[in-house]
Each structure stands twice: as C-alpha cells, then as structure tokens.
Copies of this chain bind each other. A is one copy, B any other.
Amino acid sequence: MELYSGYINQLIEELAALPGIGNKSAQRLAFHLINMPQDKVNRLAKVMMEAKANICYCKECYTLTDREICPVCANRNRNHKLIMVVENTRDLAAYEKTQKYDGVYHVLHGAISPMLGIGPGDIKLKELMERLSGDVEEVIIATNSSLEGETTAMYIGKLIKPTGIKVTRIASGVPVGGDLEYIDEVTLLRALEGRTEI
C-alpha cells in the first residue's frame, strides 16, 4: 500500500531531489506546502519559474543576473583592470558584502575536480582568458580553500603567468575571531607560512 496519496509522494520525490534535502526533510516540506494557503503555494511556484526564466549570465563576468550586463560590470566607477575570480555568484555576493572591493569579478561556475569529472573546459575559464586580452592589471584568484579550489587556483595561475599579468591568491589563515585551539593543522601551517610583518 502506498503510504501517502500519489500527489504527496510525487511532491516528496521532487523535493528530495534538491540539494541538502533528505527524505525526511522532503516529507516535512511537502506537508508544510500542503498546509499553506493555495495563493502562497502559487506565489512560490511562480517566483521559482520566473527566477529561472529571467536569470541569465552577465556577458562580461558571467555572474547570474537579470540584465545583459550585471550592476557591478556596468558600474564605471569600479576598477575594470582588477578582476577577482570566484567559483560562483554566492562567493561574489560574499565579497560584495564587504563593500571594500572596487574591482570587477569573473564567475567560473564551478571548480576543477577530477573526482567529479569537472575539467577546465567545464568552467568559464576560456571566457576569463578572453577577457585578459583587454586592459587588465591584476587577477585575484578567490576560489575556495578546498582541494578543488586550490587545484583551480594553481591551474589558472599557470595559465595566466605567460601573459605577464599579475596573478594573486587571497590569503589563507586563521579566520578573524577564530580560536587557535579549534583550528585544523593545515590552516595553522598556512597561517604561519603567510605571516606578515606588523
């Protein structure tokens, strides 16, 4: 016997396919949705479809935006000779929140991962190299400090070096407010290696 009605089962199945949502969470979400007023469910569904339909890549930096050129790239007050390479739009937003970076970005939409079969051709790397033919002074590589992020950073570094453009990597070390006691050895060693004079 099926435990739930076909409609509920189908909804649970669709929700469970989303990242970070297991079967139990999917059940909880499904019943929450069913108990929501119909107009709220319809609004959520509409917002989902609209976001999908209206979002595209910025023609310059490849971030997700609803315009041809994203607000950062369209801003003439920003330093277009300074490009920060990030893995995705969320990382771009994280740096934008600091309100201190005045360069532009390049969004790779992924990182090189031989384990997952993601090669240099699967991320927006060709597009980055094309941008470098313009007037660029420095490329800051701000991929994650994970195995994939580091691999990607090294790969991009090697690729850009011959062009003579300055390539830098964001610092890796103890996070601000971090307690040394709880920080892993690799990070501690990185912090030591990257020490600067005070």
By beta carbon, the residue of chain B nearest A29 is: B18
Q: A14 contacts B66, CB within 8 Å?
A: no
- Of the residues B6, B20, B31, contact of A29 by C-beta under 8 Å: B20
By beta carbon, the residue of chain B nearest A38 is: B52
Complex Cα gap A190–B84 (Å): 60
By beta carbon, the residue of chain B nearest A39 is: B52
**A contact residues, total (Cβ < 8 Å):** 53
B residues less than 8 Å from A170 (CB atoms): none
Copies in the complex: 2
B residues less than 8 Å from A25 (CB atoms): 20
Q: A18 contacts B32, CB within 8 Å?
A: yes
In the assembled complex, A55 has its CB within 8 A of some CB on chain B: yes
List the one stretch of A43-51, A121-129, A136-144, A149-157 in contact with chain B. Answer: A43-51
In the assembled complex, A3 has its CB within 8 A of some CB on chain B: yes
B residues less than 8 Å from A180 (CB atoms): none
By beta carbon, the residue of chain B nearest A75 is: B1
B residues less than 8 Å from A43 (CB atoms): 14
By beta carbon, the residue of chain B nearest A94 is: B3
- Of the residues B1, B8, B45, B47, contact of A64 by C-beta under 8 Å: B8
B residues less than 8 Å from A50 (CB atoms): 7
Complex Cα gap A51–B29 (Å): 12
Given A32-B18, A45-B48, A7–B54 Cβ distance below 8 Å?
yes
B residues less than 8 Å from A51 (CB atoms): 7-8, 10-11, 30, 33-34
Q: A48 contacts B33, CB within 8 Å?
A: yes
Complex Cα gap A73–B155 (Å): 63
Complex Cα gap A8–B2 (Å): 36
